[in-house]
């Protein structure tokens, strides 16, 4: 079975997810092909921009080349048994960001189109309420701007692959078109290499919430504890950032994460994760039951701290005294193996559904009422 994976080469979660998906597919006997320009091709303009005379002229010149490129891309996809688009909510449901998904469906009408994301839309409160029920809650004007050209619900894709169990709202009972396959991040570059040094890593600067208050406490506490630290800033290649991760013993989140791939990558490198409450890493709560409201329980690798600098310094010292990078990694693999090696049983089940025709190119039409 030949599976096309549409991704990009930007420094983000997309490429590691695409590569891990390919490893899982190979392990299950499928033949994956990654298209690193896949998402770019889904965004190619197919119509003229008439917003001004200047853009009209420029758009007309580019339109022909854009259409030729897209048709060439469709030819490259001929013969695949399924197309997996690695893209996240909300952009995966925006016709403004990816206008060519429906055009791709017309060109390849017998090929199922699947979305692989960190989450499943109905489990994300604000986005689910907007995209599935048209309700605007906590979202900003910037959040909403990508839907100027409309929006899709679950009817956009024939099936959904996801990495993590959602936590914001439980799923209602009944049929749901997803497979919880987790993440395969184990490409050989994530391992402990602290070299006897206890070192902290502080997340990138944020402009939301109480970021500045927490950051102040983190920096003061590390100075009080006498622990060397690195503050993430600027741009890093994957090789550069993972080298930093391998030398890290403790990691401080800057704010609440919707998922946070570094949370997984750093645990694989033997680092414990510091955060002020369980809700900053809600996607990492233990348990995979999506149909009931879960208690906020994290693995022993997570350290909940008081954002008072003196108390945090004492907590850092406690962790330093008993720190064991190999034990942190072992705990990660024991508690959440699906977030490091993926879930091959779920992947095999997904492929069986494809092969049997249970997942097919017309299935998306049956998802229109889900979550609404």
> What confidence tens digit (pLDDT) does each residue in 84-97 have?
999 999 999 999 99
Q: How far apart are CA 306 and CA 53, in angstroms?
A: 58
Is the pLDDT assigned to residue 347 strictly greater than 60?
A: yes
Predicted confidence at residue 371, as pLDDT, reads 85
* Arithmetic mean of pLDDT, 33-43: 96
pLDDT above 90 coverage of the chain, percent: 73
Whole-angstrom distance between the N-terminal and C-terminal Cα of the chain? 34
Q: Are residues 353 and 271 in the same domain?
A: no
Structurally, how many domains does the chain consist of? 2
Q: How far apart are CA 218 and CA 311, in angstroms?
A: 11
Q: Are residues 104 and 60 in the same domain?
A: yes
* Arithmetic mean of pLDDT, 129-145: 84
- Answer with the residue of higher pLDDT: 219 or 209: 219
Kind and range of the H or E run holding 86: strand 82-86
Q: How far apart are CA 300 and CA 332, in angstroms?
A: 9
* Arithmetic mean of pLDDT, 237-243: 95
Task: Indicate whether 195 belongs to any domain.
Answer: no
- Answer with the residue of higher pLDDT: 136 or 208: 136
- Three-state DSSP at 94 gives coil
Q: Are residues 161 and 232 in the same domain?
A: no
**Strands (E) located in 176-293:** 178-180, 200-202, 229-231, 250-252, 272-275
Q: Are residues 302 and 346 in the same domain?
A: no
Q: Are residues 180 and 252 in the same domain?
A: no
Q: How confident is the model at residue 59 (pLDDT cuts 50, 70, 90)?
A: low
Predicted confidence at residue 48, as pLDDT, reads 64
Predicted confidence at residue 167, as pLDDT, reads 66
CB crowding 292-315: b at 16 or more within 10 Å, else e: eebeeebbebbbebebebeebbbb
Residue 41 tokens read as 């091709």
Q: Are residues 126 and 250 in the same domain?
A: no
Q: How far apart are CA 115 and CA 159, in angstroms?
A: 7
- Answer with the residue of higher pLDDT: 134 or 288: 134
Predicted confidence at residue 51, as pLDDT, reads 56
Task: Indicate whether 278 belongs to any domain.
Answer: yes
Q: How far apart are CA 124 and CA 92, in angstroms?
A: 14
User: Which CATH number do you get for residue 207?
Assistant: 3.40.50.2000
Task: Indicate whether 191 belongs to any domain.
Answer: no
* Arithmetic mean of pLDDT, 24-28: 98
Predicted confidence at residue 251, as pLDDT, reads 98
* Arithmetic mean of pLDDT, 115-128: 92
Q: Are residues 160 and 218 in the same domain?
A: no
Using CA of residue 314, residue 192, residue 278, residue 297, what is the dihedral sign? negative
Predicted confidence at residue 258, as pLDDT, reads 85
pLDDT in tens, 173-213: 788 999 999 999 999 999 999 999 999 999 998 876 677 88
Q: Are residues 261 and 313 in the same domain?
A: yes
**Nearest CA-CA partner of 224 in 310, 116, 299:** 310
Is the pLDDT assigned to residue 56 strictly greater than 80?
A: no
pLDDT in tens, 257-268: 889 999 999 999
Task: Indicate whether 149 belongs to any domain.
Answer: yes
Q: Are residues 133 and 266 in the same domain?
A: no
Is the pLDDT assigned to residue 52 strictly greater than 60?
A: no
Q: Are residues 86 and 106 in the same domain?
A: yes
Task: Indicate whether 372 belongs to any domain.
Answer: no
Predicted confidence at residue 291, as pLDDT, reads 86
Q: Are residues 322 and 205 in the same domain?
A: yes
Residue 63 tokens read as 């339109």
Q: How confident is the model at residue 60 (pLDDT cuts 50, 70, 90)?
A: low
Q: How confident is the model at residue 49 (pLDDT cuts 50, 70, 90)?
A: low
Predicted confidence at residue 54, as pLDDT, reads 56
Cβ contact 159:177 at 8 Å: yes
Token pair 């005379």: residue: 53
* Arithmetic mean of pLDDT, 300-311: 94
User: Which CATH number do you get for residue 120?
Assistant: 3.40.50.2300
Q: How far apart are CA 354 and CA 161, in angstroms?
A: 13
Predicted confidence at residue 125, as pLDDT, reads 86
Task: Indicate whether 192 belongs to any domain.
Answer: no
Residue 242: domain span? 200-337
Is the pLDDT assigned to residue 47 strictly greater than 80?
A: no
Q: Are residues 329 and 352 in the same domain?
A: no
Task: Indicate whether 347 belongs to any domain.
Answer: yes
pLDDT in tens, 243-294: 999 999 999 999 888 899 999 999 999 999 999 999 999 999 998 788 888 8
Q: How confident is the model at residue 311 (pLDDT cuts 50, 70, 90)?
A: very high
DSSP-based helix, strand, coil % in the chain, nearest 5: 40, 10, 45
């Amino acid at each position: 079975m030949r599976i096309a994976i549409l991704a990009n080469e930007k420094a983000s979660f997309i490429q590691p997810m695409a590569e891990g998906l390919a490893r899982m597919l190979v392990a299950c006997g499928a033949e994956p092909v990654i298209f690193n320009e896949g998402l770019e091709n889904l965004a190619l303009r197919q119509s003229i921009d008439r917003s001004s005379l200047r853009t009209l002229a420029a758009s007309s010149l580019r339109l022909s080349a854009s259409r030729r490129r897209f048709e060439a891309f469709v030819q490259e996809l001929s013969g695949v048994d399924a197309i997996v688009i690695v893209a996240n909510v909300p952009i995966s449901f925006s016709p403004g960001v990816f206008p060519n998904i429906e055009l791709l469906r017309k060109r390849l009408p017998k090929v199922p189109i699947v979305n692989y994301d960190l989450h499943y839309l109905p489990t994300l409160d604000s986005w689910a309420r907007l995209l599935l029920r048209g309700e605007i809650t906590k979202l900003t004007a910037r959040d909403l701007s990508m839907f100027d050209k409309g929006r899709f619900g679950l009817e956009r894709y024939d099936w959904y692959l996801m990495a993590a169990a959602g936590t914001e709202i439980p799923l209602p009972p009944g049929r749901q078109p997803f497979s919880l396959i987790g993440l395969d991040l184990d490409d050989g570059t994530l391992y402990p290499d602290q070299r006897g040094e206890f070192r902290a890593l502080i997340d990138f600067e944020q402009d939301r919430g109480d970021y500045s208050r927490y950051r102040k406490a983190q920096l003061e506490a590390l100075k009080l504890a006498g622990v060397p630290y690195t503050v993430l800033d600027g741009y890093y290649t994957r090789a550069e950032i993972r080298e930093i991760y391998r030398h890290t013993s403790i990691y401080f989140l800057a704010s609440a994460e919707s998922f946070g791939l570094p949370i997984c990558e750093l645990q694989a490198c033997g680092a414990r994760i510091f955060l002020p409450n369980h809700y900053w890493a809600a996607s990492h709560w233990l348990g995979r039951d999506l149909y009931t409201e879960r208690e906020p329980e994290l693995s022993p690798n997570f350290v909940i701290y008081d954002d008072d600098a003196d108390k945090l310094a004492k907590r850092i010292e406690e962790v330093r005294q008993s720190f064991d990078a190999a034990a942190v990694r072992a705990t990660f693999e024991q508690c959440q193996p699906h977030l490091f090696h993926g879930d091959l049983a779920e992947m095999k089940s997904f492929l069986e559904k494809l092969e049997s025709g249970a997942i097919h190119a017309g299935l998306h039409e049956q998802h229109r009422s889900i979550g609404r």
